[in-house]
Amino acid sequence: MQSAQTGLMQRLGRQRFDPDQFEIATLPVEVPGLDPAFSGYRLVQVSDIHLGNWVTAERWQGIVGLVNAQSPDAIALTGDFVSYVLDGVLDDLAAGLSRLQARDVITAVMGNHDHWMDVARVRQVLAASGVVELQNSVYTVRRDTAVLHIAGVDNITVGADDLTAILAMLPADGPAILLAHEPDFADTSATTGRFALQLSGHSHGGQMVLPKVGPMRGPLFKRYPNGRYQVGQMVQYTNRGVGTNAIRLRYRCQPEITVITLLPAVRGSEIV
């Protein structure tokens, strides 16, 4: 009898969009200092599209539909929109990005592949599609007097990151979330004590999760390759991505869209 995993691999090999290929993962996160106005805030994360490889234009449009169906307050795109080709891909990327829908904002940071190709062209597509790139910068969401900060660090692999600049512009009041393509940057960002949550991608969840071994690991995803971790007082979450790079194969590592629900932190009977 065909195993469930073999069946998944066969479905991954098909060219058409199949929503059952993707897990809608849920991640409730208690955020210290979160104003009750943001309780239940839905932040949907998509990472590592690598459009033009396993993710075709048709699959990309289907992924966009899945994201919109989650009714996001905000969307976080954590890099690697492309892999090794831009021509014939960027128009398809724009067609999907322009269909994304969020109540407040669609934010993004760049991945190493975006920089390796032509980051200026990728940035142009994002800007024209209404996406706010957080290039070592901060975007503040407001609910009357309540605030929630979404910060983004530019790509660490290519040395474009500037956490000092982010901290300088980050207001002292209000909780903050950090987008960083490479998950192991959590060891640096957590030491600041300023971020409740870091959202990352880069690893594709290891792409291959082997029995007794776990996810495959590589540069800047050796410590936090897949899922949720506690790094000091900060939650680190590594999204498995929706695409694959050169090797179009996953094993026990389903493509993922993550729905993060923010909740006020509670200690005893008090909100903190």
Residue 9 lies in a domain: no
Residue 15 lies in a domain: no
- pTM of structure: 0.92
Report the distance separating Cα 167 and Cα 189, nearest Å. Answer: 10
Residue 2 lies in a domain: no
| The pLDDT of residue 8 is above 60 | no
Residues 177-228: tens digit of each pLDDT: 999 999 999 999 999 999 999 999 998 887 877 787 788 777 888 999 999 9
Overall number of domains in the chain? 1
Across the chain, which distance is largest between two alpha carbons, in Å? 59
Radius of gyration of the chain from its Cα atoms, rounded to whole angstroms: 18
Residue 194 lies in a domain: yes
In whole angstroms, how far apart are CA 103 and each of 14, 32, 166? 33, 23, 24
Kindly state the tokens that stand for 133: 């790139």
Q: Do residues 79 and 109 touch, judged by C-beta distance below 8 A? A: yes
| Range in 10-24, 94-108, 231-245, 246-260 with the lowest mean pLDDT | 10-24
Residue 4 lies in a domain: no
Residue 213 lies in a domain: yes
Residue 105 lies in a domain: yes
Q: What is the CATH number of the domain that holds 146?
A: 3.60.21.10
Residue span of the structural domain in which 224 resides: 23-264
Residue 271 lies in a domain: no
